[in-house]
C-alpha cells in the first residue's frame, strides 16, 4: 500500500511536468490546426538555458528558471516566424513534418554546444520529508506547487483576460475573428510565446527532478501528445487532466512493468483513446 502511494505521488509530479507542455501543445493546435512536435525540443532548450545560467554563470535556480522561460518563449516565437508563418495555408501534415525538422535542429544544436552527456543543476541539498510513508523531496513539492500555479494561471488567462478571449475566438473561427478586428498574427505570436515558456518551465522541472540530457524532450513528447489527446486536443483544461492521468499511469505501471516500457504506456493510451473516443474524455 505504501509503495502504491509513493508511485501515486511520483505520478502527480510526472503529471505536473507533462501538463505544462501539453497545455501549450493544445493551445497552438487549436489555433493553428496542426500538431507542433517541436514542443519536446522547447522543453530541452529550457532545461539547458537554465543549466547555463545556474552552472556556467553561477546564478540561483530561480533566476535560471525565469531565464529558461524567457528563452523558450523567444524560441517558440522564432520557430513560428521562421518555419511556420509562410506555410500557414499548407496542409497540417506538411506543418507537422516541418515541426519535426525544427525539433531535430534545436536538439542537435543543444547536443553540439553541451555534448551528449548527462548534466545536473547546482542545487542546495535538503533532507526528504516523509509523510504517511511517502518520501517527498523539497524540490518535488516545489515542482508540484509551481506546476499547479501555472495551470491555474493559464485557466485565468483564458477565462478572464482580453487576450484569452481573443485566443478562444481565434480558435473557434479564425475568419470571424479577423472580421471582428482581432489581430490574428499577434495572437499567434503571443500563444507561441506562452506555449514555449510553459515547455521551458517543464524542462527545468524535469531537470530538477531527474537529470538533463539532449534527448529529454524527445523522450517526453509522446507522453505530452498522449495527455493532449486524452483530454481532447485543443482543450487546455483537458490537457491538464490528460497529462495528470498519463503521468499517474506511467508511474504506477512501474509496479508491474520494467521502466523501459514506461513510454509504451502513453502510446497504448493514445491507441485506446483513438479507438474508443477520438474527441477525448474532457469536453472542449
**For the chain, percent of residues with pLDDT exceeding 70:** 97
Tell me how crowded residue 167 is: count the other CB atoms within 10 A of its CB. Answer: 24
The answer to whether the pTM exceeds 0.75 is: yes
In sequence order, which residues have a C-beta less than 8 Å from that of residue 21 and are 6 or more positions away?
A: 39, 40, 42, 43, 195, 198, 199, 202, 220, 224
265 within domain boundaries: no
Report residue 26 as a C-alpha cell.
493544445
pLDDT in tens, 107-151: 999 999 999 899 999 988 777 777 777 787 888 899 999 999 999
Q: How confident is the model at residue 278 (pLDDT cuts 50, 70, 90)?
A: low
CB-CB contact of 5 with 133 (8 Å): yes
255 within domain boundaries: no
271 within domain boundaries: no
262 within domain boundaries: no
- Report how far residue 246's alpha carbon sits from residue 231's, in angstroms, rounded to the nearest whole number: 10
- Report how far residue 22's alpha carbon sits from residue 15's, in angstroms, rounded to the nearest whole number: 10
User: Which of 21-25, 150-154, 216-220, 250-254 shows the lowest per-residue confidence on average (mean pLDDT)?
Assistant: 250-254
Q: Count the domains in the chain.
A: 1
Residue 126 has what pLDDT? 74
Mean pLDDT value across the chain: 87
pLDDT in tens, 34-62: 899 999 999 999 999 999 999 999 999 99
CB-CB contact of 33 with 174 (8 Å): no
172 within domain boundaries: yes
183 within domain boundaries: yes
235 within domain boundaries: no
Residue 153 has what pLDDT? 93
- Report how far residue 222's alpha carbon sits from residue 70's, in angstroms, rounded to the nearest whole number: 24
pLDDT for 284 beyond 60: no
249 within domain boundaries: no
Which structural domain range is residue 178 located in? 2-223
- Report how far residue 24's alpha carbon sits from residue 75's, in angstroms, rounded to the nearest whole number: 13
Amino acid at each position: 500500500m505504501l509503495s502504491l502511494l509513493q508511485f501515486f505521488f511520483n505520478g502527480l509530479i510526472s503529471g505536473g511536468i507533462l501538463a505544462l507542455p501539453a497545455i501549450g501543445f493544445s493551445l497552438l493546435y487549436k489555433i493553428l490546426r496542426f500538431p507542433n512536435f517541436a514542443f519536446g525540443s522547447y522543453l530541452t532548450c529550457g532545461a539547458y538555458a537554465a543549466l547555463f545560467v545556474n552552472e556556467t554563470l553561477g546564478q540561483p535556480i530561480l533566476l535560471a528558471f525565469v531565464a529558461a522561460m524567457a528563452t523558450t518563449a523567444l524560441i517558440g516565437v522564432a520557430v513560428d516566424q521562421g518555419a511556420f508563418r509562410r506555410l500557414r495555408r499548407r496542409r497540417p501534415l506538411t506543418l507537422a513534418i516541418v515541426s519535426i525538422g525544427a525539433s531535430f535542429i534545436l536538439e542537435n544544436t543543444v547536443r553540439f554546444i553541451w555534448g551528449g552527456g548527462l548534466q545536473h543543476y547546482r542545487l542546495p541539498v535538503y533532507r526528504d520529508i516523509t509523510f504517511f510513508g511517502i518520501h517527498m523531496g523539497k524540490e518535488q513539492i516545489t515542482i508540484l506547487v509551481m506546476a499547479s500555479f501555472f495551470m491555474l494561471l493559464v485557466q485565468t488567462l483564458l477565462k478572464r483576460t482580453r487576450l484569452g478571449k481573443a485566443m478562444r475566438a481565434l480558435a473557434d473561427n479564425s475568419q470571424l475573428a479577423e472580421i471582428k478586428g482581432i489581430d490574428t498574427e499577434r495572437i499567434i505570436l503571443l500563444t507561441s510565446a506562452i506555449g514555449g515558456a510553459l515547455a521551458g518551465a517543464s524542462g527545468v522541472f524535469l531537470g530538477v527532478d531527474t537529470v538533463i540530457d539532449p534527448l529529454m524532450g524527445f523522450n517526453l513528447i509522446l507522453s505530452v501528445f498522449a495527455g493532449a489527446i486524452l483530454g481532447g486536443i485543443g482543450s487546455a483544461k483537458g490537457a491538464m487532466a490528460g497529462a495528470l492521468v498519463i503521468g499517474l499511469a506511467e508511474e504506477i505501471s512501474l509496479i508491474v512493468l520494467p521502466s523501459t516500457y514506461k513510454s509504451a504506456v502513453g502510446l497504448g493510451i493514445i491507441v485506446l483513446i483513438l479507438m474508443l473516443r477520438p474527441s477525448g474524455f474532457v469536453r472542449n
